[in-house]
Chain A
Amino acid sequence: QSALTQPRSVSGSPGQSVTISCTGTSSDVGGYNYVSWYQQHPGKAPKLMIYDVSKRPSGVPDRFSGSKSGNTASLTISGLQAEDEADYYCCSYAGSDTYVFGTGTKVTVL
C-alpha cells in the first residue's frame, strides 16, 4: 500500500486561504468516502480535523473544510491564522480494514 501523495509544503499570509491536495487511487481515496485529515504540531500527537471527507468534529473551527473529487481529496484552510502553522496529513480507508496516510504537508504562515 503506497502512501497518498501530498505536496511537501504550502504557505500563505494571515487571512489568506490555502488548499492541500491528497492524491490516491480508486482503491483508497476514490473508492470510499472515508478520508480524514490530521493536524500535527512539532512534538505533539496528531489531532483530527476532518473526517468522512468533509465533516468537522466539534471544536474544530469552520475555517477548515474538506472535499473530494475522484481520487483526490483536499483540505482548505480559510482565513489562515498563525496557529494553523503545522504539518497536515490525510488518511484514507483502503479496504479490508486497512488505512493509508498521506506523505504530509507543512503549512507555513508567512
Chain B
Amino acid sequence: QVQLVQSGAEVKKPGASVKVSCKASGYTFTNYYMHWVRQAPGQGLEWMGVIGPRGGSTIYAQKFQGRVTMTRDTSTSTVYMELSSLRSEDTAVYYCARKSDSGFDFWGQGTLVTVSS
C-alpha cells in the first residue's frame, strides 16, 4: 500500500534552516510528482511547490522562492524540503503529498516545525 512517512518534529531558532524528509513506499517512485503543502496553526493549507521524481525539476510558489529547496533521492525513494531563514511565521505542519491524475491522492502524516527563540 502507498505510504508517505515524514521525519519527526523540529524546533528551530529564527534565521536557521530546517530539512524535512518524506520517504515513499508501495508504488513506483519515479512515476509521480511530489508536492509540499504547509498549514500554520489554526490556518488553511498553503501550496509550497513540487518536485519531479525523475530529473528532480522543481517549481516553487513565488512566496517561497529563494528560501525553499526541494530535492529527491531516487535510490531511497525520498524527497526533501529545506526551508531557510526561518521566522516565527514559518511555524507550521509541513506535508508531502503525491500528485496523481486524480489530485493529491496520498499525504504524509505531517511534520511540525516550530520556530522559536
Contacts and interface: CB of A to CB of B under 8 A. Distances in A.
B102 A51 contact: yes
B61 A1 contact: yes
A48 B105 contact: yes
A57 interface: yes
B104 A36 contact: yes
A100 B110 CA distance: 19
A31 B62 CA distance: 20
A48 B102 contact: yes
Interface string A36-62: 101010000111100110010100000
A91 B107 contact: no
Given A36-B104, A57-B105, A1 B62 contact: yes
Interface in A84-110: 89, 91, 96-104
A80 B59 CA distance: 38
A101 B104 contact: no
Interface in B27-42: 35, 37
Interface in B6-52: 35, 37, 44-47, 50
Contacts of A104: 44-45
Contacts of A98: 47, 59, 61
A47 to B, nearest CB: 8
A99 B47 contact: yes
Given A1-B62, A98-B59, A99-B35, A51 B103 contact: yes
A1 B47 CA distance: 10
Contacts of A46: 37, 45, 95, 97, 104, 107
> Which 10 A-B pairs give the minimum distances between C-beta atoms?
A51-B103, A36-B103, A45-B107, A104-B44, A101-B45, A97-B59, A99-B47, A51-B102, A48-B103, A89-B45
Given A3-B44, A91-B103, 11 more contacts: A1-B61, A46-B107, A47-B107, A48-B102, A48-B103, A55-B102, A89-B44, A91-B45, A99-B47, A99-B50, A101-B46
Interface of A: 1, 3, 36, 38, 40, 45-48, 51-52, 55, 57, 89, 91, 96-104
